[in-house]
Structure 1
């Protein structure tokens, strides 16, 4: 539900409640009513509607505060998805935010599948189990770090300013300054796109490992190579954190 829809819904609800409460054809509440209860209700409803109008509109219209996200305020992937969902309507980052939310869900599924297959292939607590399981855990943890980093990059990206800079040739501000500003925004955009790409590679690596482990028989050299690949992909993700 975007901000415009929320504003319309809030104010329309206030109007409807006011009409039902004070119109002669409905409850017709008024402070001068002979009934103390009805007179009191008319005042209480008026104050409640006034508070809802003032506080509700202020909350929706005030600029969103910039908060630097970290594992202190984002404990898991579900919280990360909740934060990213507020950016899905953006002109430039809406699609990216939606993609990352989808990646989080798929990453959780891929991680869970990989852990299940490791548990089937090795005895829990054995050296082999620890080797693979710890690699999966690290990959998942670094992926969360990357998602947090993405959320920070997206929230500090001013879409209205970026839109203005893309048309910098048509205003009176010196072009050389605006070109540098635009380059800064474009660099940030490329970093975000690259971070999304390495997340995708990590998901693919986890799925490959799960598929190989699901095959019957002993662990082959290819699976060792896949583990090495996951560690390599994890290191690539670290670059964008």
Structure 2
């Protein structure tokens, strides 16, 4: 647009011509530069809109929510691992459903049992992600840095210890939730392995499968869990 406006045959605006034309041309270039800089800043540095945790529904929503915290230095590795877990969970579920569709009819009780357990485990997985997001939402990185660097603050030792305890609990909870999700992924791997080993299934046999018992126990342990 600037090239068009400053063209000799368009509007008569010319830098180096009369004072009014030069002033207008310089102003146009200056405003254009500001617009370009603001646009670049918005794209590179402006924080994305964060969806409230209670409104998150899809895997993409979870990824977008985690993306907001990707630059939180104390948790960079944990957030990266959480991203990887989301991808692996989607792959495990797809693989498991494909295996079930190959071995059973969707109307069979065996299929329904495996599919139901898979769905329950997936719910637990995303419940852990929600819990992580709830903690991240109230985690203050700048305050954490001050607490972990005593020279940068004038707090008493007792107060610093209490603050460190609080922030260490944040970190421990997030790491624990990620560890729980890793355990869930492992149990799904075991389930796939056990399904592939068996040639035929009876509903009673399914209930006795070691991995199914582990998964059932995990579901029961978290039955009354609340965020």
TM-score, length-normalised on structure 1? Answer: 0.72
State yes or no: 1:230 paired with 2:215: yes
Contact 2:121 2:219 in 1 (8 A): yes
Q: CA deviation at 1:144?
A: 1.6
Local SS of the residue matching 1:35: coil
> What is the distance in 1 between the residues matched to 2:163 and 2:47?
22
> What is the distance in 1 between the residues matched to 2:213 and 2:198?
21
Q: CA deviation at 1:174?
A: 2.1
Contact 1:150 1:192 in 2 (8 A): yes
The equivalent residue for 2:17 is none
State yes or no: 1:159 paired with 2:141: yes
State yes or no: 1:113 paired with 2:98: no
The equivalent residue for 1:69 is 53
> What is the distance in 2 between the residues matched to 1:175 and 1:64?
37
The equivalent residue for 2:66 is 84
Q: CA deviation at 1:222?
A: 7.8
The equivalent residue for 1:194 is 176
The equivalent residue for 1:11 is none
Contact 2:53 2:134 in 1 (8 A): yes
Contact 2:66 2:79 in 1 (8 A): yes
The equivalent residue for 2:11 is 36
Contact 1:68 1:152 in 2 (8 A): no
Local SS of the residue matching 2:164: helix
Distance 1:115 1:83, change over 3 A: same
State yes or no: 1:212 paired with 2:187: no
Q: CA deviation at 1:44?
A: 6.5
- More moved, 142-151 vs 230-239: 230-239
State yes or no: 1:131 paired with 2:113: yes
Contact 2:4 2:10 in 1 (8 A): no
Q: CA RMSD in A?
A: 3.5
Q: CA deviation at 1:221?
A: 5.6
- More moved, 49-58 vs 184-193: 49-58
TM-score, length-normalised on structure 2? Answer: 0.76
Contact 2:146 2:152 in 1 (8 A): no
Give the gaps of 5 or more residues in structure 2: 15-20
> What is the distance in 1 between the residues matched to 2:12 and 2:108?
73
Distance 1:30 1:170, change over 3 A: closer
> What is the distance in 2 between the residues matched to 1:105 and 1:63?
24
> What is the distance in 2 between the residues matched to 1:50 and 1:156?
34
The equivalent residue for 2:125 is 143
The equivalent residue for 1:175 is 157
> What is the distance in 1 between the residues matched to 2:160 and 2:52?
26
> What is the distance in 2 between the residues matched to 1:228 and 1:38?
80
